Amino acid sequence: AQSVAQPEDQVNVAEGNPLTVKCTYSVSGNPYLFWYVQYPNRGLQFLLKYITGDNLVKGSYGFEAEFNKSQTSFHLKKPSALVSDSALYFCAVRDPANYGGATNKLIFGTGTLLAVQP
């Protein structure tokens, strides 16, 4: 069965330091991978996605993610964290069994709370 794992419930980092939020996936085919961020009392905002091509994907707010097929990972990174980056981050994979368009279902990880200290 398809699944996404975010092994860390919370990541703490000091402002100005690099941050990494981990994500691994398990799917039967080639994955389409996404990162979303949820700020307090706000909806899910799209950060970036990997569909094909360059394994390093750049997204909004200075975030980037690297697709590693051999390790089945798609870790989110940022070179220098800001206090305003503090939020809940979700990794998600598009269900490859339905690439034909029968559903737009995303399979989500359980989320990682990023806390950036001043």
Q: Which of 32, 66, 72, 75 binds another protein (CB under 8 A)?
A: 32
How far is residue 54's CA from residue 18's CA, in Å, rounded to a whole number? 22
User: Between residues 15 and 72, which has the closer beta carbon with respect to another protein?
Assistant: 72
Interface stretch with another protein, choices 18-26, 32-40, 62-70, 77-85 (CB under 8 A): 32-40
Q: What is the DSSP letter of 80?
A: S
* Mode of pairing for the β-strands spanning 112-117 and 10-14: parallel
| Residues near 102 by beta carbon (within 8 Å), at least 6 away in sequence | none
User: Between residues 71 and 99, which has the closer beta carbon with respect to another protein?
Assistant: 99
Q: How many CB atoms lie within 10 A of CB 48?
A: 18
Q: Which amino acid is at 17?
A: N
Per CB under 8 A, does 109 bind another protein?
yes
Per CB under 8 A, does 36 bind another protein?
yes
- Say how many residues make up the chain: 118
Interface stretch with another protein, choices 19-27, 37-45, 61-69, 70-78 (CB under 8 A): 37-45
111 phi and psi, to 5 degrees? Answer: 95, 150
Q: Which residues bind another protein (CB under 8 A)?
A: 4, 32, 34, 36, 42-46, 49, 51, 90, 92, 94, 96, 98-99, 101-106, 108-111
